[in-house]
């Protein structure tokens, strides 16, 4: 076995310190213990993707009927169920496939996030440009996370006590707010409060990417000093 192959299957240190992590872990373990044996991690991954498609459909449908936003809310719950349980079930049953699971899970995460965020930009409530800033910020943070796996052996799943579940909560709250408020008038130029919020989150993610990049580079510079 080559050293490079060994590196690929080295266990990854998962860092998850979000606010609901402990409660969520108890809920996930409870669900894993009660899921029928015929339910597989791959089925749950598919369930999560179906939820993301529901979210996208709900957002697009809101151009014709605002009530479609409730489909998006239901999709978020379905996405949480599948996306959070697929890896949890594999670990609970001790049937992990590290390389396969890592590749499939994060590939699906990237596509699902694209559906969610672009979907927000296709509603009549948020400008697509604002949503694309948020998508760019998320993808930059994803790149940082994947690079950290390679150079540090750790996968950070939360920042400032917020992780994927908290993000879904924020997006659900945003969706309910769009349903309740309808089309908001512009505050700055053509941007309304929803545009400013979504675009602002994107800018925060870009800034966090720059901060984490600087911190990681400084840490690596100490661990790997220049050679004479």
- Given a cut of 50, whether residue 189 has pLDDT beyond it is yes
CB 194 within 8 A of CB 126: yes
- Given a cut of 60, whether residue 9 has pLDDT beyond it is no
Residue 5: pLDDT band by 50, 70, 90 thresholds?
very low
Q: Which of 146-150, 157-161, 190-194 has the lowest mean pLDDT?
A: 157-161
Residue written as token pair 């060994």: 6
- Given a cut of 80, whether residue 15 has pLDDT beyond it is no
Residue 71: pLDDT band by 50, 70, 90 thresholds?
very high
Give residue limits of the domains in the chain.
14-223
Kindly state the percentage of the chain with pLDDT values over 90.
61
Write down the mean pLDDT value for the chain. Answer: 87
At 78-111, the pLDDT tens digits run: 999 999 899 899 999 999 998 898 899 989 999 9
Mean pLDDT for 129-154 is: 89
206 CB contacts (<8 Å, ≥6 apart)? 133, 136, 137, 140
Q: Give the model's pLDDT for residue 183.
A: 85
Q: Give the model's pLDDT for residue 92.
A: 92
Specify the CATH class of 14-223 in words: mainly alpha
């Amino acid at each position: 076995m080559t050293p490079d192959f060994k590196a690929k299957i080295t266990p990854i240190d998962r860092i998850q310190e979000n606010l609901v992590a402990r409660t969520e872990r108890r809920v996930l373990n409870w669900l894993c213990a009660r899921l029928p044996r015929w339910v597989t991690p791959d089925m749950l991954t598919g369930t999560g993707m179906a939820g993301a498609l529901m979210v996208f459909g709900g957002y697009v449908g809101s151009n014709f009927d605002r009530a479609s936003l409730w489909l998006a809310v239901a999709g978020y719950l379905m996405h949480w169920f599948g996306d959070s349980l697929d890896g949890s079930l594999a670990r609970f049953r001790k049937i992990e496939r590290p390389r396969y699971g890592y590749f499939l899970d994060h590939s699906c995460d990237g596509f699902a996030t694209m559906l969610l965020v672009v979907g927000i930009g296709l509603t009549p409530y948020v400008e697509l440009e604002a949503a694309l800033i948020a998508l760019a910020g998320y993808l930059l943070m994803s790149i940082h996370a994947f690079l950290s796996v390679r150079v540090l052996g750790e996968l950070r799943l939360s920042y400032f006590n917020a992780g994927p579940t908290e993000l879904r909560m924020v997006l659900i709250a945003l969706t309910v707010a769009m349903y309740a408020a309808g089309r908001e008038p512009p505050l700055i130029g053509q941007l309304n409060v929803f545009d400013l919020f979504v675009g602002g989150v994107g800018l925060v993610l870009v800034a966090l990417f720059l901060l984490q990049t600087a911190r990681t580079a400084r840490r690596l510079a100490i661990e790997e000093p220049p050679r004479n």
